[in-house]
Amino acid sequence: MDSELTETLQTLKFPEVFTEKLTELGVTSGSDVLELQNDDLKGIGMNLVQIRRLQNALKGETPAAAPAPVAAAALVCPSGNPLEKAIAQNDQYSCDSCGKKIPKGCPVLSSRISNYDVCMVCAKKGQSNGNGAAKNGFGGGGMPGCKWCEKGECWTHAGGKGGGGGKGGLPQVVKRVHSTKPFKRKFLEYAEGDFDPVSANMARDSLELVIDGGPDANDSYCPPVNSFQEIEGLPAHCIEALDQMGIQVPMPIQAQAIPLVLGGDDFVGVAKTGSGKTLAYLLPAIVHIEDQEPIQDTDLSPIVVILAPTRELAVQINEEATKLIACSEGAEGSNHPDGLKTCCIYGGMKKDGQLRQACGAHILAATPGRLHEHVLKDDISMERVTYFVLDEGDRMLEEGFESQVKVISNAIRPDRHMLFFSATWPQNVHRLAKAMCKGKKPPVRLRVGQNSDGTAKTRDDIVQEVVVFDEGDWETRDKAKKALVYEHVRNALSMEETKVLVFVSRKDLADEVSYAFNGEGFESESMHGGKSQDARLQVLERFKNANTRLLVTTDVMGRGLDIPTITHVVVYDMGDIEDYVHRIGRTARGPHGAGHALTLFEYDQRWPHLAEGLISVMEKSNQSIPDELREIAQEVSEGKRSTKVMKGRYGKMSGNHGSFAQIQKKVYGVEADGNALARW
């Protein structure tokens, strides 16, 4: 074999065995190799790639140079901020692209600026497939295999709309340019010596108010007010509207939150159900609006945006706002001589009709899903929004609205006045609040009638009665439960001026109970997810303002809705502890006195800690606890009760195992008597 062929084989780094095999075939030069068939070369062990390389080298053909590596484009979140690789420090992370949970210890790409997280799977899709055609000012995006993403009509996957045409990856969104026009947010100022801090703390203690931190290093905050007339800057037409609504004295959260918000700081309120927080953020919102320029009738650019997790709550907020601005038209000294306007946007209704109603609106109450759609399509401009309220933040997370909330938040200028309300303070709610409050200073954190560890607390003005059903099979217990409910509701309805709310877990049971009491001559209706949105709103309106005295409902009315005339609540199926607190909180709301809550308790081996948790909640509000409930909790702690540990996602436990105190610590991240709100 000549030296040229030997050198070529060495240059290509072929094994020496090939040289020996070629010699056995009688090959002495490169021309002999070129005369061989591919099958001959395969016979000595060469693969097709090696054969092509050898033939090209002997022909004098150099292979085409490999393309120069192109630097991967830096991944960015929807608001345009760069994503950096990190490790999930706990189980509270979820991907804002696909919505899946990111387990603790797994890599994650995050943007601390916009609080945007994405899993590595979506990140890889973004690098390889995120180059879809641009539409409406957005780049490619969406989810591979989703036909709606490919059409650019998907509202489920990040980047699916506006990105359109892309076959996967993170949305290549153009970073929004926010307005930098200054606006006034501080309407109340207290000089040193205007109030006595000791007296202010005593006044807060009497109202069960606790300020757990804020921007002031000396923790000196203004005292709660005793009347609305004390609040400087509150428009006269608001005072007139409050008189028409029959509201003379502020409730505790209103007495403290309104002056704090008018002081200009961001605000976080952890408030018990029925505390009156709606007025606590609506009144400062009107002061805020009155200081700004008028809105044209054709503008779709509100000044105040209020997000609520459910349609019913959004409608209720809109109704309260409508009452507050009823006297604003032609009000003396107003910057808006034509009056203020409010509107409500939620899913299940025609978009065009809602957009027409939103024209010229100063206050926009909305659910995250529908407003998210309008923001992505630029139907509604967030340019003038300077006052942003997130109501029921914990429920937002339960309903899976975190991604939509973040998109809406990123569309609003970061220096907006931010108010965040929640009924509880677990770690994931704390994380969302930190993402929403983007000010240079931490917000004032106010706790109203809540436990120091952030858990919900029942009110002392609700008489809690628990009846335990722990014998026989399911059918026997269910029959006994129905008999007790029918007897209890009949007794309640036989009294004058009573209204009863019954919570059940099944739609058919809601219809069954409602039908039975209608047959007995009582005005009763049912409400559940099987009814249309219009029908549910009409049922709610009749229960609130008309002759309907009994409403049997599923958890669509579990929290947030304010009907002060409810005197009795029945919980037919016990949910978790927070559901229990919110459900019984439907009664004794507002300044209308005490209420009664009847709960039917059955032991469920999937949630063995509920008995212990229910006892803990009832003890904190000085309620009478049945011996049967204590016996169940004792048997669970001693291992005498059967339990069923359920698997959650990724093969991990679902969180229902362990004692009640252990589960609470896992969710809230503090010891039983720790102060969760003090950490920021």
DSSP letter (8 states) at residue 224: P
Percent of the chain with pLDDT over 70: 78
Q: Specify whether the CB–CB gap between 92 and 107 falls below 8 A.
A: no
pLDDT value for 668? 64
Rounded distance, CA 248 to CA 230, Å?
12
What residue segments make up the domains of the chain, in order of their start?
A: 3-59, 74-175, 199-448, 462-668
Indicate whether 389 pLDDT > 90.
yes
Mean of the pLDDT values across residues 554-575? 78
pLDDT digits (tens, 9 = 90+) for 612-663: 889 988 888 889 999 999 999 999 888 888 887 665 443 444 455 667 676 6
Higher pLDDT, 675 or 517: 517
Distances (CA, A) of 321 to 214, 324, 554: 28, 5, 27
Indicate the range of 136-140, 244-248, 316-320 predicted with least confidence. Answer: 136-140
CATH of region 462-668, choose from 3.40.50.300, 3.40.640.10, 3.30.450.20, 2.40.30.260? 3.40.50.300
Indicate whether 667 pLDDT > 80.
no
pLDDT digits (tens, 9 = 90+) for 526-546: 988 788 878 888 888 888 887
pLDDT value for 9? 84
Residue 553 dihedral angles phi and psi, to the nearest 5°: -140, 155
Report helix, strand or coil for 378: coil
> What pTM was estimated for this model as a whole?
0.66
Q: How many residues does the chain have?
A: 680
Reading the block at residue 469, the tokens are: 């059903």
Indicate the range of 158-162, 166-170, 359-363, 565-569 predicted with least confidence. Answer: 166-170
Rounded distance, CA 497 to CA 471, Å?
36
Mean of the pLDDT values across residues 353-372? 92
* pLDDT-based confidence at residue 366 (cuts at 50, 70, 90): very high
pLDDT value for 71? 42
Higher pLDDT, 79 or 297: 297
Indicate the range of 222-226, 324-328, 617-621, 670-674 predicted with least confidence. Answer: 670-674
pLDDT value for 441? 81
Mean of the pLDDT values across residues 42-49? 78
Query: Taking all residues of the chain, what is their mean pLDDT, rounded to a whole number?
Result: 79
Indicate the range of 175-184, 428-437, 488-497 predicted with least confidence. Answer: 175-184
| Dihedral sign, Cα of residue 94, residue 97, residue 99, residue 100 | negative
pLDDT value for 172? 36
pLDDT value for 73? 46
199-448 matches 462-668 in fold: yes
Residue 666 dihedral angles phi and psi, to the nearest 5°: -65, -40
pLDDT digits (tens, 9 = 90+) for 107-160: 888 776 556 777 877 776 654 333 333 333 333 445 555 545 555 544 445 454
pLDDT value for 72? 42
Strands 462-469 and 595-602: parallel
Bridge partners for 448 per DSSP: 209, 271
Indicate whether 74 pLDDT > 70.
no
Rounded distance, CA 430 to CA 440, Å?
17
Indicate whether 93 pLDDT > 60.
yes
Indicate whether 466 pLDDT > 50.
yes
Indicate whether 364 pLDDT > 90.
yes
CATH architecture of structural domain 199-448: 3-Layer(aba) Sandwich (3.40)
Higher pLDDT, 89 or 522: 522
Indicate whether 431 pLDDT > 80.
yes
